[in-house]
Amino acid sequence: MSSETLYVYAIIPAGSPAPTGAGINGSQLHTVEAEPVSAVVHTHHAGPYEGPDEDVKRWVLEHSDVIEECWNQASSVLPVSFNVMVQASETSGATAAEQLRGWLQDSGQELKQRLQELAGTSELRVEIALDAAQFPQNEPEVLEATRELAGKPAGVRRLLEKRLEKVQRRLTDAGADRLYPDYRMRLAAQCQQIQDYATTQRPEGTVSVLSAACLVDSERISELGAELTQIQQEQPSARIRFLGPWPPYSFVDIDAGAGSASTPQEGKSSAET
C-alpha cells in the first residue's frame, strides 16, 4: 500500500496547541482541524506498524508519548488506539485528510461533549490483591494443614504443600468476595467512573480482589491515594498497585460510526442523584 494515509494519535479541542514533539519513528506531527475538534496525526506512507514485540513496544510508547503531550497541553484529550489510520477513499477520490475531516465533522458534537466531560480528569489504575499465604494464616484449616506437613518425607510434603496452597487460595478467594463490595464502594466515592478489568499481571501467590480503572478529578488523586493507604493499614496482607496518572484511555467510551465490534460498553443508563 503506497497511497498517503494519516496515522491518528488523539482528538483534542479545536484551537489547542499542536504538540511540538515527534511521533512514531520521529515522524512530524500536525493537526487536521474540523470545528469543534481536531485530530493529531502524522502523514504515513506505509501500512500498519508490524514487527517484533520489541519494536511494537517502542512504537506503542512513542504513540503514548504524543497522547501525553496533548494531555499536558490541551485542556482535554481523547486518546486513539495504536495503529489507527485514515486512508484516501477509492470510490469518492477524497484524500485522507478530507476523509478524516468528514468523520470529525460527523462525530464532532459527540467528540466535543466527551472532551468536555473528560477535561481535568486522569485515569488511575488500582489493583488490590491479597497475599494467599498471609491472608488466611490463622484459619484453623490452614493451621491444621501446616501441622500435617511436619515430619513427613519430601515426596509426601510435595503433595501436602500443593493441597495447602489450594486451601489457602480457596480461603483467600472467599475473603476477596467479602472485601470487594467495601473496597469498590470506597473507591467509587473518590471517582467519577470506575471500570473493572481483568488483570494482566498477577504477582505470584496472590489473589486479586479488585482491579479497576478509575476516572478521577486530577486535583483529587491524593484523596484516592489516602483511601488506599487506609485500606493497606486495615489489611496488612493486601498488595496494592497504584498506577498513573494517565490520560483517560479507558473512558473514551466512543464508538464512532456504526456496527463495529470494539470494546464492550458499560451497562449504564442515566446518571442522577
Which residue is associated with the grid cell 475531516?
101
- The nearest distance, CB 33 to other proteins, in angstroms, is 17
Nearer to other proteins, 103 or 136 (CB): 103
Nearer to other proteins, 142 or 209 (CB): 209
Strand partners, 44: 5
Nearer to other proteins, 35 or 110 (CB): 110
- The nearest distance, CB 137 to other proteins, in angstroms, is 20
65-88 burial string, b = 16+ CB within 10 Å, else e? Answer: bbbbbbbeebebbbbbebbebbbb
- The nearest distance, CB 18 to other proteins, in angstroms, is 18
Nearer to other proteins, 132 or 210 (CB): 210
Residue 251 DSSP SS3: helix
Nearer to other proteins, 35 or 182 (CB): 182
Q: Classify residue 209 by burial, with Cβ atoms within 10 Å: 0-12, 13-18, 19+.
A: buried
Which residue is associated with the grid cell 464502594?
185
Nearer to other proteins, 75 or 218 (CB): 218
Torsion of CA 233, 215, 85, 53, to 10 degrees: 0
- The nearest distance, CB 131 to other proteins, in angstroms, is 17
- The nearest distance, CB 200 to other proteins, in angstroms, is 5
- The nearest distance, CB 226 to other proteins, in angstroms, is 3
CA dist 209 and 178 (Å) reads: 9
Residue 211 DSSP SS3: strand
Angle between helical axes of 108-118 and 96-106 (0-180°, round to 10):
70
Nearer to other proteins, 108 or 225 (CB): 225
Which residues contact residue 69 at a Cβ distance below 8 angstroms, ignoring those fewer than 6 apart?
Answer: 19, 20, 21
Residue type, 69: E
- The nearest distance, CB 185 to other proteins, in angstroms, is 7
Strands (E), 95-199: 121-131, 193-196
